[in-house]
Amino acid sequence: MSEALTMPSIAERRSRVRFQVLGAATAASFIMYLHRSFIAQILAQDDVRKELGLDEQLVAYTFTAFFLSYALCQVPAGWVADAFGRRLAFTLYIVTWSVFTALGGLATGFAMLFFIRLMLGIAQAGAYPTAGGIVARWVPVSQRGRASAVIAAGGRLGGVFYGGLTALLMLSMNWQAVTYLYGAIGVLIGVWFWIVARNEPRDHPWCNAAEVEYIEHGRPPERHDATPVRAPVGEMLASPVMWCMAVVQFGTNIGWAFVITTLPKYYKDLKLEDWQGGLLVSAVWACGFFGALSGGKLVDYTTHRFGVRWGRVLPTIVTRFLAAALYVVGLFTSDPLYVTVAFAIATFFNDLGLPGIWAFAQDVGGRNVGAVLGFGNMFGNFGAAAAAPIYLWANRAVSGSTGNHDGTIIAAMIGFIISGIAAFGINATKQIGAKPAETQPA
C-alpha cells in the first residue's frame, strides 16, 4: 500500500490520475482502430492491388486473417491481462501491434500481407478485454458506462481518421510510408501508457488516498484481491446468458463489418475520387464516435431507470434494429449523399449500444472482466472474420457481380436483426463464478 493511503482521505482533494490512465487507454483505442482499418483505404486503390497481386477474393481473405486471429486470441489475451497485470499486458499489446503495422509496409504480396494481418490480430486481441479491466479498476461503478464509452469512442475516432487521413497522406507519400508513420505513432502511445498507468489505483505513486477511496467505493470486496486468476471457461460455456452475448456480438459484427472493410470500395465503385470516398468514410465513422460517447450516458441512465437487468440491455436491443432499418436505404439508392447519411446514422446507433455490452462484461465478470469481455469479443470477431466471404458470396448470389453491393447490405441487415433478437437473453445481474451473495440486484 502506498504511503499516501495512511493519510486521512476525507480532508484531501482527490487526485485525478484516473483521467490520465483513461486518456492513455483512449489514445490506444484510437490508434488500434486506425491500425486495423487503414488497410481498407489502401486496398481500395487499384494500383496497390496490382502491385501486391491481389484480386477481390484475396482482399477478402486479408480482412478475414485479422479478424480470425483477433477472435481466437480474445479470451487468452484477456486472461493474461487479468492474471499478470494490465499495465504490462496492455503496453506489450500496443507496442507489438504497432510494430506489425509498420512491417506491413514491407509486404510484397498476399502471403506476407496475410501473415502480418494475422499477427496484428493476435496483438490487438487483448486490447479491449484489457481496457475493460482497466475501467473496472480505475472507475467508480456508477461511471463505468461513460468511461467505457469514452474508450470505445477513441476507437471510433480512429475510424474517423483512417479513411480521410490515409487518403490525404497518400497524396504526398506512398502507402508504405503511411504504414511506417502509423506504426511509429503507436509505439509512442504504448510508452505513454506504461508511464501513466498502474494495475491498481492504490499502487500508483501519483494517486492519493481520496482518489483511491472514491474509485473503490461500492465495489464487491473480492475485487480488491489482485492475486492471479484463472479464466472461468467452464462457467462461461455453461452460461446461456454468455451465449446470448456471443450471438449479439457475432451478429453485430456481421452488420458493422461493412463499414470497416467494404465502405471504401463501395465509394470507389460509385466512381468517387479517392479523397472524396475517404472523407465520406470519415463522416460515417464520425457518427459512430458520437454514438459511442452518447451510449455511455444512455446506458447509465437506463440502468438507473430500469435496473441492471433491463437497463444494460435495452440500448443494445433497440439500436440493433434501428441500424438494420437504416441499411435498407442502400438497397434503393446509390446517391452518395443519401447512402452516407443512412450509413452514418446506422453507425451512430450501432455504437450507441456498445457501452452497454462493456458494462455488462464489467458487471458479470468480477475479477475476470478481461476473460468475460474477451469471450464476447471472440464471437463478435468470428462474425467479422466471416463477414468478408459472406459479403462476397451474397453479392454473387444477389446480382452475380462483386461490383454491386446489394448482397453485402442484405447480409449486414440480417446480422443486425439476429443480434437484436439475441439481446433479449442478456442478463447482467449475476456474476460469472460468483457466490449467491455476490450477485447484483435486478
Q: What is the CATH number of the domain that holds 85?
A: 1.20.1250.20
**Does residue 269 carry a pLDDT above 90?**
no
Confidence of residue 230 (pLDDT cuts 50, 70, 90): low
**Residue 10's pLDDT is what?**
45
Residues 6+ apart with CB under 8 A from 82: 133, 229, 231, 367, 368, 369, 370, 371
Does the residue 29 lie in any domain?
yes
Residues 6+ apart with CB under 8 A from 201: 17, 18, 137, 138, 207, 211, 212, 215, 216
Does the residue 318 lie in any domain?
yes
Contact status, residue 412 vs residue 258, Cβ threshold 8 Å? yes
Confidence of residue 401 (pLDDT cuts 50, 70, 90): low
**Residue 229's pLDDT is what?**
57
How far is the C-alpha of 35 from the C-alpha of 396, rounded, in Å?
Answer: 30
Contact status, residue 12 vs residue 210, Cβ threshold 8 Å? yes
Does the residue 2 lie in any domain?
no
Q: How many CA atoms lie within 13 A of 432 on its CB side?
A: 30
Q: Which domain holds residue 282?
A: 12-438
Average pLDDT for 207-225: 74
DSSP state of 258: I
> What angle is formed at CA 165 by the lines to CA 163 and CA 169, rounded to 5 degrees?
120
Does the residue 6 lie in any domain?
no
Show the DSSP H helices in 239-353 as ranges. 240-257, 263-269, 274-311, 314-327, 329-332, 336-352
Does the residue 319 lie in any domain?
yes
Does the residue 4 lie in any domain?
no
**Residue 434's pLDDT is what?**
54
pLDDT digits (tens, 9 = 90+) for 288-338: 888 878 887 888 888 888 887 888 889 999 999 999 999 999 999 989 999
Does the residue 7 lie in any domain?
no
Query: Can you give the pTM of this predicted structure?
Result: 0.74
**Does residue 226 carry a pLDDT above 60?**
no
**Residue 437's pLDDT is what?**
42
Domains of the chain: total: 1
Distances (CA, A) of 327 to 322, 350, 352, 366: 9, 12, 16, 37
Does the residue 347 lie in any domain?
yes
Kindly provide the b/e burial profile for residues 151-180, where b requires at least 16 CB atoms within 10 angstroms of the residue's own CB: bbbbbbbbbbbbbbbbbebbeeeebeebbb
